[in-house]
């Protein structure tokens, strides 16, 4: 067991403590076992995930990405000891710090740091897996941007995976921080400047998520995975206009409307009929034909 | 108000008759008749043969449902049928009967999304108010939560459905399809002891099952593992994946209720594992038994009647079927926004 530990957070899969480690204070992330899982499976999964997280943390530090320093990995107790970063979480900065809420210069400066940090993470083929503003911090001592919580991270060089990472961050940004589109554009700008292979990622982002992103932008505030085609909603005129602008210019600066669009039930009927590649009419003659 | 529901999206043919009291909203199940197309061990059900089965049995089943319910044709307010998703040929064979009866009896017709049928029936039977829904069957694997008049899909399978994985696994082992492959796997699993490692694939809130099947095909001859051990390990692995993504969805939206629906949902081991997970979170699990978990006509009648009461009718010329009909395409007019 961890000595002199103070529990600071309990998630679905792990408990986060602070505890002294040698001469310093450390964050101790302890993955606990799940009662519903078979013990063998549980042990193996937990061990795999602890390893993966530690590996990603280490790789980040080695490549110059500011992430918590890895102190010690205890595979027996499934715990990772890492640096206790003193600083502020980006989400709190954007929600409570008036300097950041009002000052565009401050926002751009922060966005630049985020873009560069993400570019570095993706450059070494690490996919964070849970990029939200709660998992980004500003270090108190030197105002450097720290990426934290690599619990869902893995290594992949596919542009698709990196695009998903950016998409998740965009969703997190727009749903928790209203009027942050400009900031996100700034993030992508700096990401592009820093990361050489960014074109593949950004084109994937536009091509795979273009449709979803419009809908998301239009109806953000709703959490979760939204796999709607834009056409599924009968949008009111304003919103339709906004999404047309968005789709034509692919610009993030256009006005985004919050709140759900007006949906009308009979519209989905139409889409079902148009949107499917196979349509069955109850045609008795046709059905007979395929009989033996 | 009385509705009759026609379900035939897979190998189950179901006709149900349900009554909603217009004043109190109390739901009364008048008939729930089902006839299943069972194929020999080692084989699955094919769309064409299943359609033939449905065509052969639908008239007697409708008659039986009417007889059981003691309902006169003139008392029925609306005819509901499964519009999709499902297998094309069986869907059509049942939809044509529903449509013909609508013309014959001069009743309005409502096309119902099969998944919505499962969810609404589960909510009605268990009394779960606003749960995270795990919908697991032979054709679907989805984690769903309600928001803003839609059932939104949080996580789902990236390849095959969990029930499809179980069915095909039963075929590999030549287990009986009577009453269902899943039931027989569950009985075999109770005797299994040794845990054999199988691929465990959870990606965020999504799962993948296809690797397990190919893995089992290679190891079933190589190792000295009994069918019982394989069934046991399969259940432990795939259900752990499902419980894990359900837990993530619960943590994400801060819900404490889980509702399990769909054919695989009547597996007691899955219900037990879900209960263990939810217990750690101080929550509650809701599940139904085979009468309502496995495809049935009642759920179609119920969901159709809910829509009908909000004024929804499918025009006759649009009373088609479709194999692809996502859960989040349906506008849920009968629930409050949140």
Chain center to CA of A282? 45
Burial of A231 (0-12, 13-18, 19+ CB in 10 A): middle
**pLDDT given for residue B285 in this prediction:** 95
B230 and B302 housed in the same domain: no
**pLDDT given for residue A276 in this prediction:** 36
**pLDDT given for residue A167 in this prediction:** 86
pLDDT tens digits, one per residue of B42-52: 899 999 999 99
Q: Which of A168-177, A269-278, B273-282 has the lowest mean pLDDT?
A: A269-278
pLDDT band at B297 (very low <50, low <70, confident <90, very high): very high
Q: How many CB atoms lie within 10 A of CB A87?
A: 17
Whether A116 shows a pLDDT value over 50: the answer reads: yes
Q: With respect to residue B335, please indicate whether it lies within any of the assigned structural domains.
A: no
Question: Distance between CA atoms of B246 and B155, rounded to whole angstroms?
Answer: 8
Q: Are B332 and B149 in contact (CB under 8 A)?
A: yes
Rounded to the nearest angstrom, the minimum Cα separation between B33 and chain A is 23
Alpha-helix runs per DSSP H in B173-309: 181-191, 210-222, 227-253, 268-280, 290-293, 297-309
Q: How many CB atoms lie within 10 A of CB B24?
A: 7
**Among the listed residues B209, B155, B206, B175, the one whose alpha carbon sits nearest the alpha carbon of residue B42:** B175
- When the pLDDT of each residue in chain B is averaged and rounded to a whole number, the result is 93
Whether A1 shows a pLDDT value over 70: the answer reads: no
**pLDDT given for residue A212 in this prediction:** 54
Percent of chain B with pLDDT over 90: 81
Alpha-helix runs per DSSP H in A177-236: 181-194, 198-218
Q: With respect to residue B305, please indicate whether it lies within any of the assigned structural domains.
A: yes
Q: Which residues pair with residue B109 across a beta bridge?
A: B79
Q: With respect to residue B338, please indicate whether it lies within any of the assigned structural domains.
A: no
Whether A260 shows a pLDDT value over 80: the answer reads: no
Q: How many CB atoms lie within 10 A of CB B81?
A: 31
B267 is in an annotated binding site: yes
Whether B234 shows a pLDDT value over 60: the answer reads: yes
B176 and B246 housed in the same domain: yes
Global pTM value: 0.79
Report the pLDDT averaged over residues B308-326: 93
B79 and B209 housed in the same domain: no
**pLDDT given for residue B25 in this prediction:** 82
B151 and B276 housed in the same domain: yes
Q: Which of A175-184, A253-262, A272-281, B45-54 has the lowest mean pLDDT?
A: A253-262
B216 and B276 housed in the same domain: yes
Strand order in the sheet with B141-147: B150-156, B141-147, B132-136, B257-261, B284-287
Whether A133 shows a pLDDT value over 60: the answer reads: yes
Q: Catalytic: A130?
A: yes
Q: With respect to residue B158, please indicate whether it lies within any of the assigned structural domains.
A: yes
B138 and B285 housed in the same domain: yes
**CA distances for A233 relative to B84, B233, B332, angstroms:** 20, 44, 13
Q: Which residue is closest to B153 within chain A, CA to CA?
A: A225
Structure-token match 């009364």, residue found? B28
pLDDT band at A258 (very low <50, low <70, confident <90, very high): very low
Report the pLDDT averaged over residues B155-181: 92
Whether B170 shows a pLDDT value over 70: the answer reads: yes
B285 and B304 housed in the same domain: no
Q: With respect to residue B80, please indicate whether it lies within any of the assigned structural domains.
A: yes
pLDDT tens digits, one per residue of A85-97: 999 999 888 888 8
**pLDDT given for residue A170 in this prediction:** 87
B253 and B111 housed in the same domain: no
Report the pLDDT averaged over residues A135-148: 93
Q: Which of A233-242, A275-284, B146-155 has the lowest mean pLDDT?
A: A233-242
B44 and B96 housed in the same domain: yes
Q: Which residues lie closer than 8 Å to A118 by C-beta, 6 or more apart?
A: A131, A147, A165, A166, A169, A187, A191, A195
**pLDDT given for residue A216 in this prediction:** 46
- A40 lies within 8 A of chain B by CB: yes
Dihedral sign for Cα atoms in the order B168, B158, B141, B254: positive
Whether B69 shows a pLDDT value over 70: the answer reads: yes
**B301/A103: higher pLDDT:** B301
Angle among Cα B320, B325, B329 to the nearest 5 degrees reads 110
CATH code at B300? 3.30.420.40
B331 is in an annotated binding site: no
CB contact under 8 A, A291 and B48: yes
CB contact under 8 A, A225 and B153: yes
**Among the listed residues B305, B289, B314, B287, the one whose alpha carbon sits nearest the alpha carbon of residue B17:** B305
pLDDT tens digits, one per residue of A204-232: 888 766 655 544 444 433 333 333 323 23
- Please give the structure tokens belonging to residue B270: 């899955």
Whether B199 shows a pLDDT value over 90: the answer reads: yes
- Please give the structure tokens belonging to residue B50: 């299943």
**pLDDT given for residue A121 in this prediction:** 95
The length of chain B, given as a count of residues: 338
- Please give the structure tokens belonging to residue A137: 């911090």
Count structural domains, chain B. Answer: 2
CB contact under 8 A, B149 and A35: no
Q: Name which of B243, B276, B320 is nearest A280 (Cβ-Cβ).
A: B320
pLDDT tens digits, one per residue of B120-139: 999 999 999 889 999 999 99
Size of interface A-B (CB pairs under 8 A): 132
**pLDDT given for residue A211 in this prediction:** 54
pLDDT band at A180 (very low <50, low <70, confident <90, very high): confident
B284 and B312 housed in the same domain: no
Q: With respect to residue B253, please indicate whether it lies within any of the assigned structural domains.
A: yes
B57 is in an annotated binding site: no
Q: Are A137 and A144 in contact (CB under 8 A)?
A: no
- Please give the structure tokens belonging to residue A27: 């964050």
Report the pLDDT averaged over residues A60-80: 92
**pLDDT given for residue B108 in this prediction:** 96
Determine the structural domain holding residue B174 and report its residue range. 129-292
**pLDDT given for residue B38 in this prediction:** 94
Report the pLDDT averaged over residues B163-189: 93
Q: With respect to residue B166, please indicate whether it lies within any of the assigned structural domains.
A: yes
Q: With respect to residue B124, please indicate whether it lies within any of the assigned structural domains.
A: no
B226 and B106 housed in the same domain: no
pLDDT band at B266 (very low <50, low <70, confident <90, very high): very high
Question: Distance between CA atoms of B248 and A88, rounded to whole angstroms?
Answer: 26
Q: Mind listing the domains of chain A with CATH numbers?
A: 6-83 (3.30.200.20), 87-275 (1.10.510.10)
B108 and B161 housed in the same domain: no
């Amino acid at each position: 067991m961890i000595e002199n530990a103070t529990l600071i957070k309990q998630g679905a899969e792990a408990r986060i403590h602070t505890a002294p480690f040698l001469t310093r204070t450390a964050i101790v992330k302890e993955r606990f076992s799940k009662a519903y899982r078979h013990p063998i499976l549980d042990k193996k999964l937990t061990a795999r995930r602890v390893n993966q997280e530690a590996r990603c943390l280490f790789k980040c530090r080695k490549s110059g990405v500011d992430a918590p320093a890895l102190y010690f990995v205890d595979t027996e107790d499934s715990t990772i000891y890492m640096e206790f970063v003193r600083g502020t979480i980006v989400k709190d900065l954007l929600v409570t710090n008036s300097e950041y809420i009002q000052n565009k210069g401050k926002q751009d400066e922060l966005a630049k740091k985020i873009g560069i940090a993400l570019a570095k993470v993706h450059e070494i083929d690490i996919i964070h897996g849970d990029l939200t503003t709660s998992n980004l911090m500003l270090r108190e001592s030197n105002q450097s941007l720290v990426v934290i919580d690599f619990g869902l991270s893995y290594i992949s060089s596919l542009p698709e995976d990196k695009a998903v990472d950016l998409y998740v961050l965009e969703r997190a940004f727009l749903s928790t921080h209203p009027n942050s589109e400009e900031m996100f554009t700034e993030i992508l700008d700096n990401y592009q400047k820093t990361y050489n292979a960014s074109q593949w990622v950004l084109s994937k982002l536009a091509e795979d998520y273009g449709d979803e992103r419009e809908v998301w932008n239009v109806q953000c505030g709703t959490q979760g995975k939204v796999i709607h085609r834009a056409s599924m909603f009968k949008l009111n005129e304003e919103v339709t206009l906004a999404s047309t602008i968005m789709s034509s210019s692919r610009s993030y600066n256009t006005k985004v409307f919050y709140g759900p669009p007006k949906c009308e039930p009979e519209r989905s009927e139409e889409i079902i009929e148009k949107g499917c590649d196979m349509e069955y009419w109850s045609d008795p003659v046709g059905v007979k034909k395929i009989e033996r | 108000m009385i509705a009759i529901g026609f379900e035939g999206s897979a190998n189950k043919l179901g006709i149900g008759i349900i009554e909603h009291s217009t004043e109190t909203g109390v739901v009364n199940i008048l008939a729930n008749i089902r006839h299943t197309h069972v194929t020999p061990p080692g084989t699955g059900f094919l769309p064409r043969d299943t359609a033939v089965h449905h065509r052969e049995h639908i008239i007697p089943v409708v008659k039986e449902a009417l007889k059981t319910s003691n309902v006169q044709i003139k008392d029925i307010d609306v005819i509901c049928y499964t519009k999709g998703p499902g297998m094309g040929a069986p869907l059509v064979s049942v939809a044509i009967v529903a449509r013909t009866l609508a013309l014959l009896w001069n009743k309005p017709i409502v096309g119902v999304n099969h998944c919505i049928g499962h969810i609404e029936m589960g909510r009605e039977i268990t009394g779960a108010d606003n749960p995270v829904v795990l919908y697991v069957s032979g054709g679907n694997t989805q984690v769903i939560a309600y928001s803003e008049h839609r059932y939104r899909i949080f996580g789902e399978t990236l390849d095959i459905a969990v029930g499809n994985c179980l069915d095909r696994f039963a075929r590999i082992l030549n287990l009986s399809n009577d009453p269902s492959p899943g039931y027989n796997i569950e009985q075999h699993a109770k005797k299994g002891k040794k845990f054999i490692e199988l691929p465990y694939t959870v990606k965020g809130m999504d799962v993948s099952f296809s690797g397990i099947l190919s893995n089992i095909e290679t190891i079933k001859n190589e190792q000295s593992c009994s069918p019982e051990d394989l069934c046991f390990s399969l259940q432990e692995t795939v259900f752990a994946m499902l419980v894990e993504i359900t837990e993530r969805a619960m943590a994400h939206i801060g819900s404490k209720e889980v509702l399990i629906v769909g054919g695989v949902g009547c597996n007691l081991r899955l219900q037990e594992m879900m209960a263990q997970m939810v217990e750690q979170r101080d929550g509650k699990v809701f599940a139904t038994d085979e009468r309502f978990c496995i495809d049935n006509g009642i759920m179609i009648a119920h969901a159709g009647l809910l829509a009908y009461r909000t004024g929804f009718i499918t025009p006759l010329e649009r009373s088609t079927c479709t194999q692809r009909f996502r859960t989040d395409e349906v506008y849920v007019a009968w629930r409050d926004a949140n």
